[in-house]
Chains A and B, each alone.
Chain A
Amino acid sequence: MATSSAPAAARSRSWRWTAITGVALLVLVTIHMVAHHFVVDEIGGLRTYEHVLEYIATPIIFVIEGVFLVVVTVHTMLGLRSVLRDFGLSGRWSRLLERGLIALGVVTVAYGIVLIGILASRA
């Protein structure tokens, strides 16, 4: 019998982590939506410029939004990977696209953290 080329447990990792991040997002998205649209009594619940900066500069908020960004990016990249996998592409293309997704994920998180960092510093 041929031996497997990768750890057996590792192969089901992406489905598992998509589910785990997904469940985490149920909580995080709810918090995010409530905090942004159901707290402030403006049209759409949207804050003015000053309020936004004040909000994001609050340490606990900064952390939660940061964690939210990471989790949502991981979930999105895993989801896109799943869609790409369903195309049944050959090994070389699928590996290339997976590396592209990892890169995209890193850039997304980096950009987002820098963005809220700058905004928080302006409060």
Chain B
Amino acid sequence: MLERQPYKLYMEPGLSDSCLIVGWAKDGGRIGSKLVEYLARELRGHCFAEIEPVDFFPLGGVTVEDDVAEFPEARFYCCRDSNLVLFHGDLPACEWHRYLDSILEVAQQYCNAREIYTVGGMFSLSPHTAPRQMFAIAGSPDMKQYLSRYGLAGDFDHDTPPGQRPTLSSFLLWEANRRGVAGAGLWTSVPFYLAAVEDPAACRKPLEFLNTRFKLGIDFSELDAEIARVNDLLARARSTDPQVDGYVQKLESNLALAEQELEALAAKIEDYFKRERL
């Protein structure tokens, strides 16, 4: 059964032996969106292709987020000077493998991609005042050895807990491995109460790694300004709401919050950020 190509190419990206960097929309702390947006801006990336949504999303209407109608996106950007392909997309509702296949096909066929990194946020019970931690899942032992140069190789084991499913990044990494593309998943801790809003501090970690790895010469000043703005907002939330301050203090003292407290803190912060329209 022949299937039509699910993507559109707008121009030849003009890359060779490139590296693909993948960030997902709406992931924890919005790391993926922020990172791809920042890289595309800093490296003067151009959108050169996109995956059509029709095969992957229900399209039975639109969702409204922060008063605005949303629509699924899946775009590729080429950054010629740095030889990077960026992909930013929503998580598909079906046809996952074909979606991932399309990402890799565009990257390999038109950009000769040899390497791939996915970025994502991982919920953490640490407070926002603690440094973010990043770790990598390597797609192969060779990649693990390579990552050790950057202090990113870990020796941990992990099996998906019962009742949960692996991330789409892991599925993508697995498929890249099958295609002989070296890759790694970069995971950064995001304080759980920033997962539904934005955590630019968590975004800085993978960005720092990519900056070093590809000698990108990124100017972090805008990102640092955003980090300062978020920290300021959190400080104001703490000073205006003693309950928020109490919960964060507990986390800072390494004390566990009860489930109700966890939920209350996350809800209060989300509400506060939305009111401030960050």
Chains A and B form a bound pair? no
